[in-house]
Structure 1
Amino acid sequence: MSDVRVHRQRGKRGGKLKSLNKPQGPNLNNLIYPKRTNTVSCKNEKVTCATLNCRSAIRKDSFIGQILREEKIDFAILTETWFSDHKQHQFETSDLNQYGYKLSVTNRPNRIGGGIALTHRTTSNSRRISNGVTRSFEFGIWQLILKNITLHIMGVYRPPSLATNSQFVSDFSEFIENIVPQYSNLMIMGDFNLHIDDSSSVTADFKDSLFAMGLTQHVDFSTHIGGNILDLVITEATNGVEVLLCEPGTLVSDHYVVKVTLNVKKENILSKTFKTRSWRDVNEPALIQEFENIDIDTDDVDTYTKICRAPKPWFNENIVVLKRELRKAERLWTKYKEPEQLQTYKNLRNKYCHAIEREKTLTLSEKVSNSKGDSKKLYALVSELTGTKSENPMPSGISDSTLSDNFADYFMNKISKIRDSLHEFNKIQAN
């Protein structure tokens, strides 16, 4: 029938005929395509952080600061810092508060030891929201703005002597119930001194309380030299912080550094439209002529700032050799886990820390001795070490001519005032 151009047809309501050979399906011409928006819902940022029980950051500040810079840590929670409010120079002049990092501390009141600190890159801003001591643990809460992302970091240190494990779990659960609803992108890090890897009822209660509040604990390896999991990293399961990697780092004290790589959601980012031009359509001779006619000495040249930090004067060749030996011993201990290698690593670590402390003391003592008799040079050295900047006493926002006129008027008026004040005294006549 198709050869004679006769097609099968069937009847349809209303007397109309419908061809059976017509293709069935939606008509794509009727689709309406929505406009694309320039708003990107979210963007992820990689952030690297760490937590460490340093058992006195006063003498290990150079070693810890070097680890932070080599591992490119964005921020870190330090416990058992042993800083004191009565000795502010200990943390103000610390390496953790210099050379690209800024330190914020919450010290144990009226007692020696303990303490929590947050150190972060100077390119980010922090604000301490709260700190204190409960019946069983010390805490500090900071707001950290890093890469245009707001994080809330809570540092925890639990001294074992304050309370039993069951009392700590009860106290921490009650405390955290009020903290979780208040802050977004919350991270809880620190030394809990709780064997999270055992099967006791206290550990089970602790894990159940975290699960009930929508919290996740990420450390699954030994953080103490004794083979226990004591340092924890806890995040909310539904917030914008995703833990990509949690791994052990360098053995600094009797605790390892716990290094964490985060994927943080960065929301409400607007995309921009740029115009481009194909290089094939460019007139090459005319472009070369334009470049030759450019005056490089004009003010239209873009400039950028690059941070160039001078090498530390006490970081000499002997320190470099000790550092290489320390890293070699650390790699051997990490690979084979032999007791002799651990002891070798600890000996080299102590030798390295003492060498840095000795060279730093000698260098600073030499600088102070060279400033003997020159108070201006000595004050400049103290300002350099403490990171303080002297304020310019001269008034700002005034031209040089106006400033000189003000000085002249001041001294002329001062002379007139002195003369006028002399008339108020009684004349003394000689006998």
Structure 2
Amino acid sequence: MNFSHIIKTVSSQTFNNKGQLMHLCNVFLRRTRRGTRAGKSVQRAIPVITSKINHYDSQNIICHKQHGANIANLAKIPLLKTNSLISDEINTNNNIVISVLNCRSVKNKALSISDYVVSNKLDMFAITETWLGSSIDESVKQELVPTGYDFLQLNREHRRGGGIALMFKKGMNIEYLPNNDICIDQFEHMDFSFCHAKTCVKFCVIYRPPPSKSNDLRTSLFFDQWNSYLDRIVTFPHEFIITGDFNFHVDDKNDSNAMKFLQTLEDHNLTQHISTATHIRGHTLDLFITRSESNLLRTKASVHEPNLFDARGNPFCDHHAIQAVLAGAKPKKISKTFTFRKWKTVDQVELSKDIVLDIPDTNPSVDELANQYDSELRDVVEKHAPLVTKSVLLRPNTQWYSDELRESKRNRRRAERKWRETGLEIHRQIFKERCSNTGKLLHQTKQDFFSKKIEDCSGDHKQLFKLSNSLMGKQHDIVLPTSTSNTELSNKFAHFFINKVTTIRNVLSQQHSFNRELSLAEDTPFNGEPLP
């Protein structure tokens, strides 16, 4: 709009005062283009012309012009997920969740792996390259296996490294299936079975070490044993899952060995479900295999970063984890039943008043007195401290969790949900940073908690040894011999010690008796040289 046009417009108007004239000039002089500085409180709509339609009559003469959108020309566009690379979150509260990961030694990752299992609510966790088999295994497993889980392992023999294991909830009722009738030395494997949706499922964990001069493994021998192994597996009448680290780049179409491996799966009517990289270098090494017509999986198996961090917040896992959800109900939660008496609440004065034994005037036998004492004292105990039975669900031990750690874990979950919602790289970086902070805090919190407990036990050696045994994995439940009643169990203990004393006496009686007439030898004088 030029200045002459403004003068022409203003001159054609009639104004009552000077204010109206100044207002009209400001309207014409104000810039209305996009990007005008108008302050945060001013919002201007940017006009958008969607169409310019001319309407004609029967003689092709323009009747009028319509500016705007023609609703009849608009097409409905279906809404899509903003980020298709991130899979939908699945409700894992009611389904069996399985995860597979190459840990490359669990000894330096035990606490992080335990937190990973608990945070993801895993029912089964298959591990390859455990590197177990040394004298510190018990202490590692004490920190590795959460409360309510069992652990089965197969260590590599005669060489360091390797090894596979399975961690699972106790309610899964998993059974180990040894294969002693076949000889396989080109790859490590463990076979299990568990009941799922009223059917038996075989679960196989595989680790194939890469061939080298030091291990004398050959790819040709692997394929011979692998085909024999698959011939046995496919004869299983029910569903089965084969998973683990095979060390084949199945994503590389030019890798002849990888293509040959995939051909063996196709020949046995099997399907490999992993199509993305499972290693930080971009190759697909870890696989998840089922029958081609299997309906075992609820959704497609996914790959994600396990986000395992050390005490300094540095990531230390070069493989990604595979996670799959089975279409079926989770196992029932395991509970443990305790029976106890509340002795601390007993009134000592009232208890002493009630302990009054009425001994009869007659001369009772020892058995009669013992029965009387037992009956009357049992009634008094039941009156003041009755037996209480309590059932507790087995949950992971989190007594050393601090409020700061719980808040850090909540922030980590919020960051993960935000990243899954948007799929943006910036939100992924924020999530990784939260994982690193939580990893550092996880190690520091547990160290501070047990350091404080050890300081508190400094004057009590019994509690100190008890705490050290629990940390080193040397604490076991006391298992009593089987018996039908407490009386029978007491008699077993009595007979055991009576027989032991009798045996010692018989051994001593068979030895030569001490001759009291023999005198002790006299002391001989010292004839050596004194020390300087």
TM-score of the superposition, structure 2-length normalised? 0.54
Aligned equivalents of 1:82, 1:405: Cα separation in 2: 43
- Shift of the 89–196 alpha-carbon distance from structure 1 to 2, 3 Å rule, reads same
Please state whether the residue corresponding to 1:241 is helix, strand or coil.
coil
Please state whether the residue corresponding to 2:171 is helix, strand or coil.
coil
Q: How do 1:317-332 residues align onto structure 2 when only pairs under 5 Å count?
A: 317-327=403-413, 330=416
Question: Deviation of residue 89 (structure 1)?
Answer: 1.2
Q: How do 1:196-275 residues align onto structure 2 when only pairs under 5 Å count?
A: 196-200=250-254, 201-237=256-292, 241-242=296-297, 244-252=299-307, 253-263=317-327
Encode CA deviations 1:44-91: one digit per residue, 9 max, x unaligned: x95321111223322333333333333332212111222224332144
Aligned equivalents of 2:398, 2:155: Cα separation in 1: 28
Q: Which residue of 1 aligns with 2:204?
A: 154
| Equivalent residues of 1:140, 1:156 under 8 A apart | yes
Question: Deviation of residue 311 (structure 1)?
Answer: 5.2
Q: Which of these residues, 68, 71, 76, is aligned with residue 120 of structure 2?
A: 71
Q: How do 1:217-366 residues align onto structure 2 when only pairs under 5 Å count?
A: 217-237=272-292, 241-242=296-297, 244-252=299-307, 253-263=317-327, 305-307=391-393, 309=395, 312-327=398-413, 330=416, 349-366=435-452
Question: Deviation of residue 208 (structure 1)?
Answer: 1.9
Question: Deviation of residue 155 (structure 1)?
Answer: 0.8
Please state whether the residue corresponding to 1:245 is helix, strand or coil.
coil
Q: Which residue of 1 aligns with 2:43?
A: none
Question: Deviation of residue 393 (structure 1)?
Answer: 8.0
Q: Which residue of 2 aligns with 1:288?
A: none
Q: Which residue of 1 aligns with 2:248?
A: 194
- Shift of the 229–391 alpha-carbon distance from structure 1 to 2, 3 Å rule, reads same
Q: Which of these residues, 112, 118, 123, is aligned with residue 166 of structure 2?
A: 118
- Shift of the 314–46 alpha-carbon distance from structure 1 to 2, 3 Å rule, reads closer
* 1:138 aligned partner, one-letter code: E
| Equivalent residues of 1:131, 1:139 under 8 A apart | no
Equivalenced residue count is: 347
Question: Deviation of residue 152 (structure 1)?
Answer: 1.7
* Runs of at least 5 residues in structure 2 that lack an aligned partner in the other structure: 1-93, 308-316, 330-388, 520-532
> Within the alignment, does 1:176 sit opposite 2:264 as a pair?
no
- Percent identity over the alignment is 25
| Equivalent residues of 2:190, 2:205 under 8 A apart | yes
The answer to which of 79-88 and 364-373 deviates more is: 364-373
Encode CA deviations 1:119-178: one digit per residue, 9 max, x unaligned: 110112233323799554322222334576432211112222445767655553343223
The answer to which of 105-114 and 380-389 deviates more is: 380-389
Aligned equivalents of 1:229, 1:191: Cα separation in 2: 9
- Shift of the 330–194 alpha-carbon distance from structure 1 to 2, 3 Å rule, reads farther
* 1:202 aligned partner, one-letter code: N
| Equivalent residues of 1:193, 1:230 under 8 A apart | yes
Aligned equivalents of 1:425, 1:237: Cα separation in 2: 83
- Shift of the 310–119 alpha-carbon distance from structure 1 to 2, 3 Å rule, reads closer
Please state whether the residue corresponding to 1:76 is helix, strand or coil.
strand
Aligned equivalents of 2:419, 2:318: Cα separation in 1: 14
| Equivalent residues of 2:400, 2:449 under 8 A apart | yes
Please state whether the residue corresponding to 2:178 is helix, strand or coil.
strand
- Shift of the 363–210 alpha-carbon distance from structure 1 to 2, 3 Å rule, reads same
Aligned equivalents of 2:493, 2:105: Cα separation in 1: 56
- Shift of the 160–335 alpha-carbon distance from structure 1 to 2, 3 Å rule, reads farther
Q: Which of these residues, 49, 58, 63, is aligned with residue 107 of structure 2?
A: 58
| Equivalent residues of 1:124, 1:147 under 8 A apart | no
Aligned equivalents of 1:92, 1:183: Cα separation in 2: 35
TM-score of the superposition, structure 1-length normalised? 0.64
- Shift of the 85–125 alpha-carbon distance from structure 1 to 2, 3 Å rule, reads farther
- Shift of the 58–336 alpha-carbon distance from structure 1 to 2, 3 Å rule, reads farther
- Shift of the 324–243 alpha-carbon distance from structure 1 to 2, 3 Å rule, reads closer
Aligned equivalents of 1:53, 1:404: Cα separation in 2: 50
Aligned equivalents of 1:331, 1:362: Cα separation in 2: 30
Encode CA deviations 1:345-379: one digit per residue, 9 max, x unaligned: 55654553343233323433443443345443244
Please state whether the residue corresponding to 2:200 is helix, strand or coil.
strand
Q: How do 1:3-14 residues align onto structure 2 when only pairs under 5 Å count?
A: none
CA RMSD of aligned residues (A): 4.4
| Equivalent residues of 2:131, 2:162 under 8 A apart | yes
Aligned equivalents of 2:324, 2:493: Cα separation in 1: 61
Q: Which residue of 2 aligns with 1:380?
A: 466
Please state whether the residue corresponding to 2:258 is helix, strand or coil.
helix
